[in-house]
Amino acid sequence: MRRSSSLLAVVLLLGLAFSLVSREPQIDPRLKKASRRPELNGWTLVHLEGSPAEIGFQHGYLLAPEIRDSLKVTQLQATHDAEKPWGFFRHAAQEMLWPHIEQEYREELQGITDGANARGVKLDLWDVVALNAAEEWSYYVGAYDKDHNIKSPPTVTAPEHCSAFVATGSYTKDGRVVMAHNNWSSYLDGERWTIIFDVVPAKGSRFIMDGYPGFIHSADDFGINAAGMMITETTISNFHGWDANGIPEFVRGRKAMQYAASIDDFARIMKEGNNGGYANNWLVADRKTNEIANLELGLKNVTLQRSKDGYFVGSNFPIDPKLAAEETTFPLTDPGESANARHVRWDQLMAENKGKIDVAAGQRFLADHYDTLQKKTEPNERTLCGHIDLSPRGSKPWQPPYGIAGAVQNKAADAAMAERLTLTAAAGHSCGIHFKAAEHLRQHPEFAWQKELLRDMNANIWTTFAAAQ
């Protein structure tokens, strides 16, 4: 009798233990290889790994609160700027963009949707596709309005994004590649452009890049892949052109980051199906050969320059005169134009620092406040560390995107770092000037529409990030 009672007790205890274990929250198997690290100096590093659907789910799940927030920002910006409802962009995402997105990235976009939904964030696939195309909408809206005889708002124009350089050979301290870039954006989205993605896809190369919550591409752009490619860009100002039958830029940009193993690969992927959206000067490097290149990717005009001993710089100016004449309204001869003034400064810094350029120098360049027109140091819209909000001239009333503010974050790397999938990054102005939302809105009441979502953005120190081991 005692033996039976003891056996029964053991059975009951085992049953209770099983019941307790079964009630423990179970980790979704799709998340087992993924991770999110605590915020560090303004940045959040996430590791994503697996199939396209798994990577997407991990992204959506781990960054669900940030995606909900970034979607609100993008909806506000897009609808305010284009004067069209969010449904307009969702419809375009479904009817125009989706047919030209290959299956791999369809699965990843759906995965982001599923992951965010699993964390209680209510959005659907067309929200996520429209979010990813945020940098392309001004190009599409301009073409749409023209086709429908609609007068576009003055804010519908190609944005001015970024300052960047890539150098090699006799220009750098060790003769190898050095690259640096800062993202010019509004404070509204720039203060959220602080994710470091470490991605190990089932196919293609592992890569590390900065990015925005919910984006499958970097979009501003700075990234390094395990095949030896280092990639950045600056936007071509005042560009116009759109091909509704082309492949979205966000797909081509992501594909190049994942699959390019040479400069030729990169150029081929970016040119194939080019839709004209987010037209950029792409500064790229192959750390294996120490060759650098500048791919100026217009819609009608595309040029590729290459060098193993030299530099390329970008600050939103067009290079090819034919492209400038046919596809932009850019003021090539205006020295007060931000892009032109920054171009002059880049050339000065490259000449002054020839043979001495390294990552530390690149970090200094991105914090530079020298105005080449006034020939004095003053943080404003003409300096590499851009501060349009501090300019005594104020923002141009049409200046995109959405009250552009200047250099909101920064990245730099050299060939040795790229070998280890490592980069350095500084969130906020790298010069150390903090942004305070309340003071900004007091001085610029025209941006009061941003009040509910605008927040402070502090200048953080440069921090090194590496792909997770």
* pLDDT at position 332: 95
> In whole angstroms, what is the distance from residue 145 CA to residue 92 CA?
13
Task: Name every residue whose Cβ is closer than 8 Å to that of residue 155 and which is 6 or more positions away in sequence.
Answer: 80, 81, 82, 138, 398, 400, 401, 402
> In whole angstroms, what is the distance from residue 281 CA to residue 293 CA?
10
Band of residue 16 on the pLDDT scale cut at 50, 70, 90: very low
Which domains does the chain possess? 50-147 (1.10.439), 163-466 (3.60.60.20)
Task: Return the sign of the alpha-carbon dihedral for residues 272, 275, 276, 281.
Answer: negative
Q: Which of 162-171, 173-182, 403-412, 427-436 is predicted least confidently?
A: 403-412
Band of residue 404 on the pLDDT scale cut at 50, 70, 90: low
Task: Return the sign of the alpha-carbon dihedral for residues 372, 374, 375, 377.
Answer: negative
Q: Which of 97-101, 152-156, 328-332 is predicted least confidently?
A: 152-156
> In whole angstroms, what is the distance from residue 388 CA to residue 159 CA?
14
Mean pLDDT, residues 28-48 taken together: 97
CA 52 to chain centroid: 20
Comparing C-alpha atoms, which of 139, 70, 129, 68 is closest to residue 251?
129
* pLDDT at position 12: 41
Contact 223, 205 (CB under 8 A): no
> In whole angstroms, what is the distance from residue 299 CA to residue 450 CA?
33
* pLDDT at position 298: 97
* pLDDT at position 10: 38
* pLDDT at position 157: 81
> In whole angstroms, what is the distance from residue 210 CA to residue 223 CA?
7
Compute how many other C-beta atoms are within 10 angstroms of the C-beta atom of residue 264: 13
Task: Return the sign of the alpha-carbon dihedral for residues 385, 388, 393, 396.
Answer: positive
Mean pLDDT, residues 33-47 taken together: 97
* pLDDT at position 158: 79
Using one digit for the tens of pLDDT, what is the confidence trace for 254-266? 999 999 999 999 9
> In whole angstroms, what is the distance from residue 411 CA to residue 426 CA?
6
Strand partners, 75: none
Band of residue 19 on the pLDDT scale cut at 50, 70, 90: very low
* pLDDT at position 393: 80
Compute how many other C-beta atoms are within 10 angstroms of the C-beta atom of residue 358: 17
* pLDDT at position 22: 37
* pLDDT at position 26: 66
188: DSSP letter: H
The amino acid at residue 224 is I
Question: Of all residues in the chain, what percent carry a pLDDT higher than 90?
Answer: 86
Compute how many other C-beta atoms are within 10 angstroms of the C-beta atom of residue 88: 18
pLDDT at 43 over 60: yes
* pLDDT at position 216: 98
* pLDDT at position 6: 47
Using one digit for the tens of pLDDT, what is the confidence trace for 279-326? 999 999 999 999 999 999 999 999 999 999 999 999 999 999 999 999
pLDDT at 15 over 90: no
Contact 161, 181 (CB under 8 A): no
Question: Of all residues in the chain, what percent carry a pLDDT higher than 70?
Answer: 92
* pLDDT at position 406: 86
Contact 452, 441 (CB under 8 A): no
Torsion-angle region of residue 191: left (phi > 0), alpha (psi -120 to 50) or beta? alpha
Using one digit for the tens of pLDDT, what is the confidence trace for 426-466? 999 999 999 999 999 998 888 899 999 999 999 999 999 99
When the pLDDT of each residue in the chain is averaged and rounded to a whole number, the result is 92
pLDDT at 119 over 90: yes
Using one digit for the tens of pLDDT, what is the confidence trace for 356-400? 999 999 999 999 999 999 999 999 999 999 998 888 886 554 354
pLDDT at 207 over 80: yes
